[in-house]
Amino acid sequence: MKTTKDRILNVLDILGKLIIIVIMAFPFLWMISASFQTLQETIAVPPTLIPGQFNFDNFKEVFKTVNVWQYLRNSLIVCTCVVFLQYLIIVPAAYSLAKIDYKAKPLMFALVMVGQMIPMQITFLPIYFMFSKANLMDTYTALIVPFISNPFGIFLLRQYFMQVPSEVIEAAKLDDASDIKIMFKIMMPMVKSALVTIGLLSFISNWNGYFWPLIMTNKDAFRTLPIGIALLKDADSLQRWNVIMAGNLLLVLPMLLLYILASKKIRNAFVYSGIK
């Protein structure tokens, strides 16, 4: 008796999980399929699941409608600069908070916590005023600099640095190593996994970011890919969903591939950032 009941429960268990998988994965498959459909196919009833023929016509149309290469270039510049420049800022800050004693340290730590707490959706308007006064609108500076003092990064690195035994630093100091050398040559290699976590998270969030570049850019020369792809929807007055989906696939595919390649690592990074 028990085995029959158990078997039924097992089938229900599998069925339930498959339903979740379909709900979560289907929209992506639909997007991929639509990118290859003709306009007729996108409005056909019943819906076209597998396109009649596979060609890149829709993608060509995307490149004709908006300046994809320019947006892609900007996105890559911004993401790369944020990921690497932030290390120059956050590694010293985290080292200072973890390993050096000075009076204003609690205040500095509070500053990091406030930075983590206050979202840019609150600060964007004053920063907009500041940048437009300094003629920094439509520049890479406006897209990069606000992100390189990554307070979460400082917080996480500080946790890691605190676990490095002080003897390691004392020994290096006896050898007359400078703080710079201790940080970059001795400490950084010891916290590689935290550095990768921080880099991955800021790459993903800057690649996907829409709000910030929307406010800081008005010219194609500095627009990032999410802005450009969102423009595609408005630029296409015919609402050719096959073309719009092809454009969106260009934005989605790099992240999808990255996630397939490093799904465990990425999920762990988000758990770190979530739980702290």
Interactions with another protein, residue window 30-59 (CB under 8 A): 30-31, 34, 42-43, 45-47
Site for another protein in 252-271 (CB under 8 A): 252, 255-256, 258-259, 263, 266-267, 270-271
| Least distance CB 191 / another protein (angstroms) | 16
Q: How many residues bind another protein (CB under 8 A)?
A: 89
230 binds another protein (CB under 8 A): yes
The Cα 211–Cα 6 span in angstroms is 50
The Cα 253–Cα 59 span in angstroms is 13
The Cα 152–Cα 193 span in angstroms is 15
Name the residue type at position 95: Y
Q: Binder to another protein among 66, 82, 112, 194 (CB under 8 A)?
A: 112
Looking at the Cβ atoms of 191 and 251, the one nearer to another protein is 251
Q: Which of 256, 143, 247, 158 is nearest to 204 (CA)?
A: 256
134 binds another protein (CB under 8 A): no
Q: Two tokens at 188?
A: 């950084």
104 binds another protein (CB under 8 A): yes
The Cα 90–Cα 194 span in angstroms is 12
Left if phi > 0, otherwise alpha if psi is -120 to 50, otherwise beta: which for 138?
A: left
103 binds another protein (CB under 8 A): yes
> Directed axis angle between helix 241-261 and helix 263-275, to 10°?
90
83 binds another protein (CB under 8 A): no
Q: Binder to another protein among 194, 229, 243, 246 (CB under 8 A)?
A: 229
- Classify residue 20 as exposed, middle or buried by CB count within 10 Å of its CB (0-12, 13-18, 19+): exposed
165 binds another protein (CB under 8 A): no
Q: Binder to another protein among 65, 115, 159, 236 (CB under 8 A)?
A: 115
Q: Is 36 helix (H, G, I), strand (E, B) or coil?
A: coil
Site for another protein in 184-203 (CB under 8 A): none
- What is the contact mask toward another protein in residues 203 to 222, using x (rule: CB under 8 A)? -x--xxxxx--xx-------
| Least distance CB 158 / another protein (angstroms) | 11
Q: Looking at residue 220, what DSSP letter applies? A: G
